[in-house]
Structure 1
Amino acid sequence: MQTITVNELKAKIDAGEQVNLVDVREPHENAEFNIGGILLPLGKVQTMQVDEIEDLKDAEVYIYCRSGNRSGQACLILETMGFSNVVNVTGGMLAWQEQIGR
């Protein structure tokens, strides 16, 4: 599993790069603050209900959560399901809000 910092990810977004973002937090967390990713709670990933992102199996996909823990778990599960290029956003949205803001 690869990792990326929130600052590196923000630089890619600011540069206009195509980034595939997946938020594995719960809906209420996503409603409070999000950076535009597809909402796919970790529970769905754990039960392999990933139809929303099935077409991204061969694409680079940035997985984020609140702190980087759930997204790390999601990355490992997605790799076993054949996703070849998942990237864990270290520090998650806590780091994003602390270092970048809203």
Structure 2
Amino acid sequence: MEELDQEEWLSQLKNDDNAVILDVRTDAEVADGIIPNSIHIDLHKGQEFIAEVDALDKSKNYYIYCRSGNRSGQACQIMEELGFENTYNLLGGMLEWEGDVE
């Protein structure tokens, strides 16, 4: 897992043609807006989260965010344990996000 600030996260994401953006917030948080092109899998779903994530393509690079950067860090660790090699945590999460939201 790499911890990236918003500038690093966006710069790396822009140049990565193998990228997947993953939002691990709750449904209520997602209702307030989501980074464009994100897939949403709520970390609080526990085993269901693990099952959904485990079904993802492990050869992709995952750019992960939550509200503050804490849960996305946990998600990165879980994903590494499941065999994902490239996970990137957005430090500060949506609280510090200044980019596009849909």
State TM-score, norm by structure 2: 0.79
Structure 1 residue identity aligned to 2:66: C
- Cα shift at 1:54: 2.9
| Paired-residue identity, % | 38
Deviations 1:21-41 (A, max 9, x none): 000001111120210210000
Taking only aligned residues, the RMSD between alpha carbons, in angstroms, comes to 2.1
CA distance in 2, matches of 1:78, 1:4: 17
The runs of 5 or more residues in structure 1 that have no matched partner are: none
SS at match of 2:64: strand
- Aligned match of 1:93: 94
CA distance in 2, matches of 1:55, 1:11: 23
- Cα shift at 1:49: 2.0
The runs of 5 or more residues in structure 2 that have no matched partner are: none
Pairwise mapping of residues 41-52 of structure 1 onto structure 2 (< 5 A)? 41-44=42-45, 46-47=46-47, 48-50=50-52
CA distance in 2, matches of 1:68, 1:55: 21
Deviations 1:23-75 (A, max 9, x none): 0001111120210210000024x311225x73431211011000000000111
SS at match of 2:77: helix
Shift in CA distance, 85/94, structure 1 to aligned 2, threshold 3 Å: same
Pairwise mapping of residues 21-100 of structure 1 onto structure 2 (< 5 A)? 21-36=21-36, 37-44=38-45, 46-47=46-47, 48-50=50-52, 54-97=55-98, 100=99
Higher helix proportion: 1
